[in-house]
Amino acid sequence: MILITGATGNTGRELVPQLAKSGRPVRMLVRDERKVAHIPAHVERAVGDLDKPETLAPAMRGVEKVFLVTYETQQDANVIEAARRAGVKQVVKLSTLEAEEHKIQVGKWHYEREQLIRSSGLEWTFLRPGMFMSNAIEWWASSIKEQGAVYFPGGKGRVAPVDPRDVAAVAALALTQPGHCGQVYALTGPELLNIKEMVQIISQVLGRPLRYADIPPLAAKLFMLRSGMDRELVKALMEMLRSLRKNEGAILTDTVEQVTGCRAGDFETWCRAHVKFFRTTGD
C-alpha cells in the first residue's frame, strides 16, 4: 500500500491517477473527502491531518511507502513517528531545489525536513523540483483574465519551470521501482525562461496580447502582507524573489529524462494543455 499526502496539490493530483493506473494499491490522506470525490472509488481514502498525530495511525495501517508533502517540520516529525510504528519502509519526500545549497530560508526549512528523514532510520528519496509550471495558474490566471496583464517582480532572472506531471512520474517510479532509495533528484524543465518570456508564451497560446509589469519587490511584499500572509513566510518569499532577480535560480537539469526515459515537458506544451485556465469567455 502506498499512502499519498498532498493528493490535491501540484504533484499529488498528477501522482494519484498515475499510481492508480499502475494497479498498485493507493490510499490518500485527506482532511476533507469531498475534495477528492472525483477520484475513482478504488483509491482508498483515509481522513486525517498531518498536524494531528492521533489521526495518522489508522492511515498508516498496511502502508509500505509514503509520498510526503508538508508545510512545516513538525508535520514531518508526526509522519515519521507514525510511519515507524506502522512499519513503513520508504518515504518519498517532495522538497525543493533551494534545499540543495540551503542558503535562503525556504531552502533551510526543506533541508531541515530532509535531515529529519535521513536520521529516521527509514529509507528515503528526495524530490527537489524548481518552479512548478502550474504556479502560473495560481499566480497569474486571474489578472490575465481580468486585465490581460501579469504583475510580478521577476526581473531578468531565469528559472526552468517543471511540469508537475514530470515530477509525479519520477515520484511514481521512486514509489514502485527499486533503485531509488537514498537518491536526491533535482527536477527542472528543459529550458530557462524569465517571467516576461513565460508571459509571452502564454500570450502566444491564447492568441492575444498580454502585458507584463515587472513590479517593484516592495509592492509584492505589501500585497502579501495585506492579504494576511504570515510575516515569516512573506520574509522567506521575498528572499526567494531576491534570489530570482539575481539569477540564482537559473538551474537546468536533465534528471527527469534520466529517471523516466522521457524528455521533460516544455512550458508551451503545458500552456496548451491548460489554456482553459487563462481564457476569458471572449477568447
Predicted TM-score (pTM) of the model is 0.92
CATH number of the domain residue 30 falls in:
3.40.50.720
Q: Which residues of 166-178 are buried (b: 16+ CB within 10 A; e: fewer)?
A: bbbbbbbbbbeee
The parent domain of residue 46 ranges over: 2-130+164-187+251-264
Q: Please check whether residue 108 lies inside any domain of the structure.
A: yes
Q: Please check whether residue 105 lies inside any domain of the structure.
A: yes
Q: Cβ atoms within 10 A of the Cβ of 136, count?
A: 25
C-alpha angle 196-191-266 in degrees, rounded to nearest 5? 90
Task: Using alpha carbons, list the distances in angstroms from residue 20 to 6, 40, 60, 98, 257.
Answer: 16, 9, 18, 30, 22
Q: Please check whether residue 221 lies inside any domain of the structure.
A: no
Q: Please check whether residue 183 lies inside any domain of the structure.
A: yes
Q: Please check whether residue 194 lies inside any domain of the structure.
A: no
pLDDT beyond 90 at 64: yes
Single-letter residue type at 31: R
Q: Please check whether residue 199 lies inside any domain of the structure.
A: no
CB 79 within 8 A of CB 6: no
Question: What's the total number of domains in the chain?
Answer: 1
Instruction: Render pLDDT for 53-63 as a digit per residue (tens, 0 to 9).
Output: 999 999 999 99
Q: Please check whether residue 138 lies inside any domain of the structure.
A: no
Instruction: Render pLDDT for 39-55 as a digit per residue (tens, 0 to 9).
Output: 887 889 999 999 999 99
Single-letter residue type at 152: F
CB-based contacts of 244, cutoff 8 Å, min separation 6: 154, 155, 157, 159
Q: Please check whether residue 226 lies inside any domain of the structure.
A: no
CB 222 within 8 A of CB 163: no
